[in-house]
Amino acid sequence: MMGHMTTTPLRTRRSGVHRAWIVAGVAFVAILGAAGFRATPGVLITPLQEEFGWSRGTISLAVSVNLMLYGLTAPFAAALMDRFGMRRVVSCALLLVAAGSGFTILMNASWQLVLCWGVLVGLGTGSMALVFAATLTDRWFVRHRGLVTGVLTAGGATGQLVFLPVLASLAQTSGWRTASATVAGAALVVVPLVWFLLRDHPAEVGTTALGADPGQLVSIPAPRAGRGGAAARALAVLGRAARTRSFWLLAGGFAICGMSTNGLVGTHFIPAAHDHGMSEPVAAGLLAVIGIFDVVGTIASGWLSDRVDSRVLLGVYYALRGLSLMVLPSLFSATTEPSMLVFIIFYGLDWVATVPPTVALCRQVYGADAPVVFGWVFASHQVGAAIAAVGAGLTRDLSGAYDLAWYAAGALCLVAALMSVSVTAARKNAVPA
């Protein structure tokens, strides 16, 4: 049940940086870490296979669970942020990541890998996923929402850039346990930063969202979880959204997005390159380069989503991604050829450029429910990623190569392009509460 609104006096700032930018900076660091933590299993596949003799299909199962929970946690995390606040949810999520990664050091069976990297790290990183960015931009920004969404989304790419080459080098020189311990330590370091600097609403510090009318009443919104709590709110929003055509088009397209990024390239690019004679650190470095160009592509996409029809943007992004994936199997070799670098740059610009226009469409169609709706759309992204992660691993085990997985993902991206341009962006499409 909705509680009362707590009002606070408006503090007039004479000069300086708006508090929204500080909050966004802290969120960027948390999202950066979450992406790096979640992507870590990609550099552990070969070392775990060599030490324990587990098949890639077995190891991919843990990655698949991680990806699925990373997505399925998102809508509930968005509702929990409405109920308990972003600061508490994100801090607890970082502690889960630290526990999951730390306990991995002691494992000696594959089910323990599923429990630690799959369940604990999946739940933790899922609570800091892109719904965190959507929730924060809705609360703290009126102006520059698309741009800030793009910057925060780019934090995921930067997480790859920072973590993967370092962790790949650690896994090769000092062992995979050192890499796991590094992830646990990094997660713990971010907790104080989040706890002391992140704020849930502008009203907590006596200001308004960036771009809002400075003379309006400053108030702290009451919890929106409803009678049944955060879970009930998340499910109620899903029930309303599921009765609209646009939800299924957005969710279906984003599922294919997950298949073609986190599930396939993010998880299997390194072992696929290793199959062709390339070392893991070099392959991880190529993924990091994808991260560099993704920062550029995603920020540009956020800027464009403030100005261009988001359906058109999504259609173009998915079509270009599909064509590039169909070319990839012919580019692998033991060395980094110029053609592979061209793919890395092109694919990097498109990696998660889909997020800002997808968030924008959710906001246009579903209004106040947009962060939770995007949580469910993002859940479909990770379900798709989970299917691709385990499917590509099994394809490699059965056929000895990844080629079929690359071609299938490319074809599905072309389907996603058609789905995206068919979304009805008008608010009249939404089902009222």
Q: Which residue has the tokens 């520059």?
A: 144
Q: Provide the sign of the torsion angle of the four alpha carbons 366, 352, 328, 392, taken in this order.
A: negative
DSSP code, position 141:
B
What's the CA gap between 93 and 117, in Å, rounded?
Answer: 14
Q: Which two tokens stand for residue 96?
A: 């889960």
3-class DSSP assignment, residue 218:
coil
∠ at Cα 336 (330, 341), nearest 5°? 75
**CA proximity to 320, closest of 299, 300, 345:** 345
- Give this prediction's pTM: 0.70
pLDDT tens digits, the chain, 433 residues: what are they?
344 444 445 454 445 788 889 999 888 888 888 877 777 777 788 888 888 888 877 888 888 888 778 778 888 888 888 888 899 999 999 999 999 988 988 988 889 989 988 899 889 988 887 778 878 888 888 888 888 888 887 776 667 667 777 888 888 888 889 988 888 898 899 899 899 988 888 888 888 888 877 665 555 555 554 555 667 888 899 999 999 999 999 999 999 999 998 789 988 898 899 888 888 788 888 887 887 788 888 889 988 988 899 999 999 999 999 999 999 999 988 777 888 888 988 888 888 789 899 989 998 899 878 888 988 998 898 789 888 988 998 898 889 889 999 999 999 999 999 999 999 865 544 444 4
What's the CA gap between 433 and 430, in Å, rounded?
Answer: 9
Residue 407 zone, left/alpha/beta (φ > 0; ψ -120 to 50; rest)? alpha
Q: Residue 161: what pLDDT?
A: 64
- Answer yes or no: are the C-beta atoms of 367 and 430 closer than 8 Å: yes
- Answer yes or no: are the C-beta atoms of 383 and 258 closer than 8 Å: yes
**CA proximity to 28, closest of 207, 154, 117:** 154
What lies within 8 Å, CB to CB, of 398 at 6+ separation is none
What lies within 8 Å, CB to CB, of 260 at 6+ separation is 321, 322, 325, 388, 409, 410, 412, 413
- Answer yes or no: are the C-beta atoms of 385 and 259 closer than 8 Å: yes
Task: Go through the domains of the chain in sequence order and give each one's CATH number.
Answer: 18-209+224-428 (1.20.1250.20)
- Answer yes or no: are the C-beta atoms of 117 and 38 closer than 8 Å: no
DSSP code, position 109:
S
What lies within 8 Å, CB to CB, of 141 at 6+ separation is 20, 24, 148, 209, 210, 211
What's the CA gap between 102 and 96, in Å, rounded?
Answer: 10
Q: How many residues in the chain?
A: 433
First CA to last CA across the chain, in angstroms?
Answer: 15
3-state secondary structure 354-409: CHHHHHHHHHHHHHHHHHHHHHHHHHHHHHHHHHHHHHHHHHHHHHCCCHHHHHHH
- Answer yes or no: are the C-beta atoms of 345 and 405 closer than 8 Å: no
